[in-house]
Amino acid sequence: MTATTPRRAPVGDEPRRPAEPQRTGGLNRSPATPSATARGIVLPLIVVLLVVLAGLAIVASPAITAWDLGVIQAVEGARTPFLDAVALADDLLFSPTAAVPIVGLISAATWIARRRLGPALALAALALLPWLGSSLVKGVVQRPRPLSAGLPHHVLTDTGFSFPSGHTSFAVALALALLIVFGQGRLRSPLIAFAVVAPLLTAFSRVYLGVHNPSDVLASLVYATAAVLLVLGVLRLIAPPLERIPLIGQGLDPAHGREPRRPR
């Protein structure tokens, strides 16, 4: 018997190892599919339209109006000087008079810190456009403010329409804009807390002051969240060509302005 040696497979028959992905210092920016872009715009838009329809239905419902008034009267029974001060301070902080300067200062600081106009524009759009849109919804729904005759202890008397709450919409939009643009690293936890506390406190204060119905502020929480997502979807759609402009740079799509995570 003669010993046989095992035959080696030809070099070309050896199994090939899968190619390792190239490691780069930037983010993995896979282009968004058309369906994902459509969902990011169409679904929030549908929610906004549903809020408008809900507002029209609420205006035509005496039962909901009566429930709203009962809740406001119950909240009035818990009035204290401390809560008065907190609600009035919130009223000033998230008022139309303060909204533009606050967003302007934060956007300017973002431009200086990031050295790109894109992130500053994204923050301003995410914070201001949903708030401005709430005025358009008010003009469509045209719900009157709570009747002061039924609220003898109301703190403020406001004018204009009631649905949705502009203060609450701005609080939601500003908090989510900050979270979307700056919500990485150590800032993430405090910004998440702010995104929860600020809108809820503002919603409560509007009812506490007697200038909005509970259904107004609840609708504002839903509307403003959907409106921010709608603006974010539009930004992601228009960002690729605009980010090529040197003055704007990356960051108009907030995902492009984030720094890559460093390995621990």
- Peptide bond between residue 246 and the one before it cis (omega within 30 degrees of 0): no
Q: Going by C-beta distance under 8 Å and a sequence separation of 6 or more, which residues neighbour residue 149?
A: none
pTM of the predicted protein model: 0.79
Give, for all 264 residues of the chain, the pLDDT tens digit.
455 555 555 555 555 554 444 433 333 344 456 566 667 889 999 999 999 999 999 999 999 988 998 898 888 878 888 988 999 999 988 988 888 999 999 999 988 888 888 888 899 999 999 999 999 999 999 998 886 645 555 566 677 889 999 999 999 999 999 999 888 888 889 999 999 999 999 999 999 988 899 999 999 999 999 999 999 999 888 877 776 777 676 666 677 655 544 444
Residue 182 in tokens: 């700056």
Residue 252 in tokens: 């108009």
Residues 114 and 257: beta-carbon distance below 8 Å: yes
